[in-house]
Structure 1
Amino acid sequence: MAQDIQSALSSRGGSVSVAVHDDSGLTCASASERQYDSASIAKVLIMEGLLRRAEELGRGLTDRETADVRPMIVSSDNGAARRLWTDLGHSYLNGFLAHVRTRATILGPGGYWGLTRTTAADQMALLDVLTNARSFLRTRAYGLKLLSEVRADQRWGVPAGMPRGLKAHVKNGWLPRSTHGWRVHSIGAFTGEDRSTYRIVVLSHDNPTKAYGVRTIERIAQAVHRGLNQGRGSGRGLTPRSTVSEESDGSAPYEPLPGWDEPEQDATP
C-alpha cells in the first residue's frame, strides 16, 4: 500500500502528508509531522472539544450548542464554528489537545480558528478519539453521526475508492491563500459491520486549484481503500472535476496575518 501511495503521488505537485491507521494494527504515514493551516478541518477539533466538555460536566449539549455544532459539521457553517470556538476558548481547547496527546497542533490566534496549524499525525489522534473504545460513548456516537451526514457536495476526498458496505465519516477543508496556494485537506473514519474501523488523513498545500488538490487526495484514498479491502469491489469513484467548486471554505483570510504567517515554515523539510 505504501508503494501504491507513492505511485499516486509521483506525478502530483504540491506538498502532501498522509496518515493511515487500521484497528487491525496497520499504520502508514508520509510526512505526517508537516504543519498546514487547518482550514475547515479545525471544526472536528471544535466539535470534539464541545462534546468532551459536555461529558465532563455530566450533561448533554444545550439547545444552543446543538443548534451550532450540527451546521458547523454538516454544512461547514463558519458562523457556528466561530461561536463555538469563542465559547470554548483557547485554554480549554489547548487542554483538550494535551489530553489527546497531539504534538504539533497550534490554535489559530484570536478568532482565526481556520489558521490553526496542524499535522496529519495530530489529525489522526483526533480521529482516534471518535473511534477509540476508551472514549466516552456519547462523544463517539454523536460525533461520528454528524460526520456521516456531511452534505453531498462536501464529501469528496478520502471516501474515493471506498467499497460498498462501509460508512464514511468525513470532514474536508479547502482554503486558498497568498502563500502555499490552495490548502486542500480530507480526513475520515470508515466503519462497517464486517470490517474493522480504519482512518485516513490527507493534508496538502501548494495546490494550483482546489480541483487539483481534490484529485491528488482521491488518488491516494483509492490506493488506501484498495490495499485495506482486497477482494472487495470499489463502490465510489473519483469526484468529477466539473462538480468541484473553486470557492474557498472561508475559514481564514487570503492575505498573511501579521505576526502569525510571517515567516510560514513547515515543521519538516
Structure 2
Amino acid sequence: MSSTANPPTFPKTLPDHTQLPESDGTFGNNFQEHPQSILLTDSITSILQQYHPDGQYCIGQDCGIYWRLTDPPEKGAEAPDWFYVPNVPPTLNGQIRRSYVLWQELIPPLIVLEFVSGDGSQERDNTPLSRTQEPGAEKPGKFWIYERIIRPAYYGIYEVNRASVEVYCLVAGQYQLVTANEQGHYPILPLGVELGIWQGRYQNTELPWLRWWDSEGNLLLTGHEQAQQVQSQLDQERQRAERLAAQLRAAGIEPDL
C-alpha cells in the first residue's frame, strides 16, 4: 500500500519588516563597533545627499537583512555591521524600518561592511546552503550568503586588530578582491569614494578606524571635524589680524577697528 507525502504548505502572504524580529537578542561584539558605524554614517552623509537629493536611500547598522523565510525567522537573516541601500525610502509607510526584507524590496545593498571581532573566519565562511533543507541543517556561511543571495556590489571585511580592510567587488556573480590604490584605499566606484584605514582619535579612542575618502584622496570629515576645521580657520584669521594690528601700532598707525 503506497502513501503520498503531504505537500508543503506556504503562507498566503510573506511577512514584511513589521512582522519579523528586529534583533536576535545577542550582544554587540565590542565597544568599538557602535562608534565605528556612526563614524562611517556621519562622514558619508553629505556624499549620499548629493547622490540622493530626494532622500531615497537607507543605511543599516547591525540591522537584519532577511533573505529567506525560516523558523525561527532570525535564521533567514544576516545583520551586517553597516550597509547602504540606494533608491529605497528611509521609512516604510511612515514607520521606522525594523529590518530590510529582500523579498519585499528586491534592491540589494550597494555595500555591506562587517567588523571582525574574532579571527575573521565567520566573515569569510563560504559554506553553501544545504540541499536537504532539513531542520538543523548547517547554516550557510556569511560570505556565501552575501555573494550568492544578498549580492551587495561591494563586501568589506574590517579587522581593527590588524588595522586592515579587505574589499570584494561582485563581478559576473562572484566576488573578486579589489586592489588598493597608491594611497592604500579601495575605490567604491558608484559613489566616487574610497574606503581605507585611518589611524587617529575618534570619540576619545585612538585606533585604526575604517573611513571614507573622496576620489581625490581627501578624508571625508564628520560634522564635528568640519566644525573644528572652521573654528581653526577662524582662530588663524583672528591671530593674523592681531599680528597685523600689532605691526601697525609699532609703526605708529592705529588700526581701523
- Using structure 2 for the length normalisation, give the TM-score: 0.28
- Using structure 1 for the length normalisation, give the TM-score: 0.27
Higher strand share: 2
Which one has the largest radius of gyration? 2
Instruction: For CA contacts below 8 A with separation 6 or more, give which structure has more relative contact order.
Output: 1
